[in-house]
Amino acid sequence: MASEDARPAGTADIAAHALTGPVRPVPGTPLPDLLGVVAEGRADATALVAPDATYTYGALHARVQRLARRLLAEGVGAEDLVAVLLPRTADSVVALLAVLTAGATYVPVDSGYPHQRITGMLADARPRLLLTTRDFAARLAPGVPALCLDDPGSAAATDALPCDPVADAERTRPLRPHDAAYVLFTSGSTGRPKGVVVEHRSLMNLIVSHRELFFGPATRHLGRERLRVAHTAALSFDAAWDPVLWLFEGHELHLVDDDVRRDPALLVTYITEHRVDVVETTPTLAEQLDRGGLFDTGLPHRLGVLALGGEAIGPVQWDRLRALPHLLALNLYGPSECTVDAFVAPLAEHPSPTIGRRPVPNTRAYVLDAQGEPCAPGETGELHLAGAGVARGYLGRPDLTAELFVPDPWQPDGARMYRTGDLVRQSPDGTLVFVGRADHQVKLHGQRLELSEVEQVLLGHARVAQCAVLLREDSPGARRLVAYAVGEGCEPEELRAYAAESLAAYMVPSAVVVLDALPLSPNGKLDRSALPAPGFGAPAGCGREPSTPAEKLLCRLFADVLGLGDADIDGIGPEDDFFLRGGDSMGAIRLVAAAREEGLTLRLQDVFEHRTAETLAAFAADQL
């Protein structure tokens, strides 16, 4: 993009096409210091409810200050990266807040990731310190100095430190708005994740935005000053920040454990029993929660606020949610590179799915064509975002940063905008409608991934000569990641296992199809439309027939969830592996919900441990 003194021709009227959020002041108080302000006023109020502990604001603040002082004693300071690899316990929230309080940069690492992916992320980040447990430290041996929070001696030393608020004078230097607050790794096209560096000024702008567009509307809708907020996102996902920010406003945060947050039926029970007011999740999981009875009128407690993000909301779900009078439903849109949320759209204000009419405070949105010219209303273009939420760039990747964080030619020198890769168009009523992606990046189960990253990983296998990866939907609602490999002696399941060694679970293909050659179009490019649908396991008629009522039920449910239809039920046998036949984590969630509707109580973990109808039926033999 050109600089301001060399604007592209015909763009003088950009102001007529730009969508601009309201201008709002951003407080100079660093975000971590806000926790102390809240703790002063409500020390005895419940702040955090975690699987292993419950803390008041006073107790949480004290633990955070002690751990922050321990980090300072370890020499951690401004712009130092501190990786956090912990199970989903109260310590994971304490660690996040302590890293920020010490003035360092928080780097979340998902403990569920494969060993190779974790070590790769740590090698890229090169953190000054790793906050973890003795078990993880022993298994990883990443070559990074580790502080094990569950080590009795270390914990005693930390607990002995003063708990009064850490002052700027105690940090290596005062916190500045442009200091890095966190680094979040997302899927990368080169075969390795890329770390998005977000600064304190952007995080503070997010809390300013949420006060106006999220926190305020929620408390007014429910008529209460303090709300209970469920944290259901993976801690390494950018959506994990939204629930945490409620802490800085004095609300009660519930960190839901992994088994519950992944199981719609258990999560509905948790929301009801703990009288949770606010949940943020993906549209896919929200649909399962709806099927699980979350919005039933007969519940003793009803959810009041539902925020959806991570993927597009379909028109049927949009209509369903906006028609519920007791529910404030919000659509949150934003890439990690623009600090979580760039648009907030209340569903009740829009008759059809939309990103929104204007971006969040201190943010600008442009819809530009391939030449960088503004698109007229109704024309499809790429969404560019500018303003306070734009991240610093990618950690140690100046080339990729320069490619996607480009100069904003309609603002003073130095202003930048982020090319989202999302195609949108402005509807007649002025709202933005999501159209699709401009590249090979896709959303699956609310998580963003680069198809080329999956391809690069598979190409690292010694016998794979060529590879292509697609997100397929061969039947309604059955969206699956499928890899196509060319290479002598390639075995599909060997390649899936190889991918699982270094990719997050949601990125592992549901199936690998081995081909003699990739199909080409007349101009010599890959013909993606000619790639065959996967068979997902054994052909129809192989294996024994189901012999018990439980096996027959589960075979039918396998077929339903996998989108095979009634005609193909005979193709699912009791010995067929659900995941080898095309199932994935979201399919497993649907299977658990469907089984419960038939009177068979399963947990998500049961499906992963007992992967066939035969073993699941034996496990649940006493239920039918």
The ranges assigned to domains in the chain are 1-28+200-439, 55-176, 441-530, 549-623
Overall size of the chain counted in residues: 624
424 strand-pairing partners: 381, 434
pLDDT of residue 332: 97
In the structure, what pLDDT confidence band is assigned to residue 444 with cuts at 50, 70 and 90? confident
Q: How confident is the model at residue 400 (pLDDT cuts 50, 70, 90)?
A: very high
Query: What are the CA-CA distances from residue 7 to residues 13, 180, 287, 550 (Å)?
Result: 11, 31, 46, 68
Greater model confidence, 447 or 379: 379
When pLDDT is averaged across residues 513-521 and rounded to a whole number, the result is: 81
Asked if residue 527 lies in contact with residue 519, where contact means CB atoms within 8 angstroms, the answer is yes
The terminus-to-terminus CA distance of the chain in angstroms comes to 65
Residue 397 backbone dihedrals phi, psi, to 5 degrees = -130, 70
Give the mean pLDDT of 227-233: 97
420 has a pLDDT exceeding 80: yes
Question: What pLDDT is recorded for position 475?
Answer: 64
**Where does 55-176 sit in CATH, by number?**
3.40.50.980
How confident is the model at residue 241, as a pLDDT?
97
The CATH number of domain 549-623, selected from 1.10.1200.10, 3.30.70.2740, 2.60.120.380, 3.40.50.300: 1.10.1200.10
- Asked if residue 12 has pLDDT above 60, the reply is no
Instruction: Measure CA 275 to chain center.
Output: 24
Residue with tokens 């699912």: 572
**Which range is least confidently modeled, 176-180, 203-207, 590-594, 619-623?**
619-623
Confidence at residue 112, expressed as pLDDT on a 0 to 100 scale: 86
Q: How many CB atoms lie within 10 A of CB 533?
A: 13
- Give me 316's structure tokens: 């049927």
Give the model's pLDDT for residue 450: 76
Separation CA 285–CA 357 (nearest Å): 25
pLDDT digits (tens, 9 = 90+) for 307-321: 999 888 888 899 999
Tokens of 510: 């549901």
- Indicate the CATH number for domain 441-530: 3.30.300.30
Indicate if 55-176 has the same CATH topology as 1-28+200-439.
Answer: yes
Per-residue pLDDT of 103-124, as tens digits, reads 999 999 998 888 888 988 999 9
- Of 509, 54, 510, 447, which is closest to residue 234 (Cα–Cα)? 447
The whole-chain average pLDDT of the chain stands at 88
* Across 12-27, average pLDDT: 79
Residue at 97: amino acid letter: L
Q: Output the six-digit token pair for 134.
A: 């003795």
- pLDDT by residue (tens digit) across 150-171? 999 999 999 999 999 999 999 9
* Cα dist from 198 to 84, 180, 202, 350, 402, whole Å: 16, 6, 7, 31, 16
Q: Take residue 569 and report the two structure tokens written for it.
A: 């039920």
In the beta sheet, which residues pair with residue 426?
A: 432
- How large is the average pLDDT for residues 281-309? 90
Look at the domain 1-28+200-439 and name its fold: Rossmann fold (3.40.50)
- Please give the structure tokens belonging to residue 376: 């007229």
